[in-house]
């Protein structure tokens, strides 16, 4: 990812655009095929030295023109006269940025696919592992750990769909000259622009100013921030479940060598999940300047340029790091199923109030009456420090409807996870179909 947005990477992508422009001119007869081929030959860092570009830039104070001059120096014959013909700087810069973004989005897609596969394996493995469901950080009703991961999978599927959907809009360049009219490209302007973008595998801005519309970048950065926030959600759950009081999962930890604390030798901290949390906050910080970069004066000004040299590379590099790190966490996640069961048992039956209520309604008790019965019994169990089952056994309005054996079956957490297992199976199946491989 860093290579894509490195100085050498940027310059090579810009030279690729210059070469495509030359080929487009040749295709309409504006220059010869041999001149276009010569421009294509020099459009390489194997031919043009970065140090020479920098040397020229010290004189011109213009990085793009420094590259054009350095390319021209390397051309044989008259080919150098046709480099950058009819273009403005941002034709090259924005189109090269589209190429960078396209390559970077491919890495993001690969990262998402890797994490999705990891989630699918984990969900399948923990399909039947009972866990406490929690709302408001309080015990709710049982779930399976596989079901929790299946929810993460569904979210990643949506992000993948969003990524595929935006690519044609985001991976767009322009070859339309100083203010977007294409005047310098002459009568073949439209053909040249389409030819360049087809050559490079990009879409194009249909009604540009001097730049590609920055609403495209806003959509991009918002998507990457959205993905980052999902990763923070997963990392936050690991951090919470690894709390000593809960202790249901643990990040992978090399017990032979890894150190958790410089003074507390017993510590095993969820450092990767915490790292992801911090990086998500940084990434979201780039959303506001990206929105502000949409507002340019007239056909454009330069206020966006310095900001974008930070925002675009950083959001990609940070997200790449976050995705790889989350995959590392969940690939080696330690799931403590015994602790999950112990936490369920510590609820002393209170989490089974809902299934008892539902069974009473099946037996003819009104829903509101059943709710009040369970509310009273639950409050009594909490007050007296007894199991909910014990409190229910003492109530005639319950035991006149349910047998003791039926009550025990209804209050078995394993019998009340609804469609959790089916949801896991469906999400794993979707992952196998989307990724083209078995879990």
| Residues known to be catalytic | 136, 261
Strand ranges in 301-426 using DSSP code E only, listed in sequence order: 334-335
Of 83, 87, 45, 89, which Cα lies nearest the Cα of 64?
Answer: 89
Yes or no: say if 345 and 338 are a contact pair by the CB < 8 Å rule: no
Q: Report helix, strand or coil for 141.
A: strand
Using CA atoms, how far residue 251 sits from 236, 246, 247, 276, 364, in Å, is 12, 14, 11, 13, 48
Of 383, 390, 434, which Cα lies nearest the Cα of 164?
Answer: 434
Quote the tokens at residue 56: 């020229």
Q: Could you tell me how many helices (H) and strands (E) the chain has, helices first?
A: 18, 6
Strand ranges in 174-326 using DSSP code E only, listed in sequence order: 203-204, 249-250
Separation of CA 6 from chain center: 22
Of 119, 167, 169, which Cα lies nearest the Cα of 147?
Answer: 119
Q: How far apart are CA 302 and CA 355, in angstroms?
A: 63
Sequence-distant (6+) residues with CB within 8 A of 163 are 105, 108, 109, 112, 223
DSSP state of 386: -
Angle at 292 between CA 310 and CA 100, to 5 degrees: 40
Phi-psi region of 38 (alpha: psi -120 to 50; beta: other; left: phi over 0): alpha
Quote the tokens at residue 146: 């596989």
DSSP of 290-305: HHHTT--STT--SHHH
């Amino acid at each position: 990812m860093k290579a894509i947005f490195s100085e050498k990477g940027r310059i090579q992508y810009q030279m690729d655009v210059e070469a495509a422009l030359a080929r487009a001119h040749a295709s309409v007869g504006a220059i010869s095929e041999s001149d276009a081929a010569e421009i294509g030959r020099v459009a390489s860092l194997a031919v043009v030295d970065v140090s020479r570009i920098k040397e020229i830039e010290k004189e011109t104070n213009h990085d793009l023109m420094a590259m054009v001059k350095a390319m021209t120096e390397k051309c044989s014959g008259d080919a150098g006269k046709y480099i950058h013909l009819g273009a403005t700087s941002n034709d090259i810069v924005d189109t090269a940025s589209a190429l960078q973004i396209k390559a970077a989005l491919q890495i993001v897609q690969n990262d998402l696919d890797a994490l999705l596969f990891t989630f699918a394996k984990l969900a399948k493995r923990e399909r039947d592992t009972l866990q406490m469901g929690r709302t408001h950080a309080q015990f709710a009703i049982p779930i399976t750990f596989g079901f929790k991961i299946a929810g993460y999978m569904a979210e990643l599927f949506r992000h993948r769909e969003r990524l595929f959907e935006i690519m044609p809009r985001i991976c767009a360049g322009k070859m339309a000259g100083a203010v977007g009219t294409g005047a310098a490209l002459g009568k073949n302007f439209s053909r040249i622009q389409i030819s360049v973008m087809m050559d490079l595998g990009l879409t194009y801005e249909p009604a540009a100013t001097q730049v590609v519309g920055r609403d495209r970048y806003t959509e991009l950065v918002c998507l990457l921030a959205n993905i980052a926030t999902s990763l923070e959600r997963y990392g936050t759950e690991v951090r919470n479940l690894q709390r000593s009081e809960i202790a249901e999962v643990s990040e992978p930890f090399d017990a032979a060598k890894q150190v958790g604390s410089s003074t507390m030798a017993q510590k095993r901290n969820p450092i990767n999940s915490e790292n992801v949390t911090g990086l998500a906050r940084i990434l979201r910080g780039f959303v506001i300047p990206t929105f502000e970069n949409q507002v340019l004066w007239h056909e454009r000004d330069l206020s966006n340029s310095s900001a974008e040299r930070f925002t675009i590379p950083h959001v990609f590099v940070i997200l790449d790091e976050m995705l790889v790190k989350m995959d590392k966490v969940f690939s080696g996640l330690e799931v403590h199923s015994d602790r999950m069961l112990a936490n369920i048992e510590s609820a002393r039956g209170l989490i089974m109030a809902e299934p008892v209520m539902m069974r009473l309604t099946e037996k003819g008790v009104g829903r509101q009456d059943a709710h009040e019965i369970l509310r009273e019994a639950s409050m009594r169990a909490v007050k007296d420090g007894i199991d909910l089952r014990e409190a229910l056994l003492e109530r005639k309005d319950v035991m006149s409807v349910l047998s003791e054996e039926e009550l025990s079956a209804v209050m078995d957490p394993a019998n009340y996870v609804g469609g959790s297992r089916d949801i896991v199976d469906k999400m794993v199946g979707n992952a196998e179909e989307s990724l083209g491989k078995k879990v």
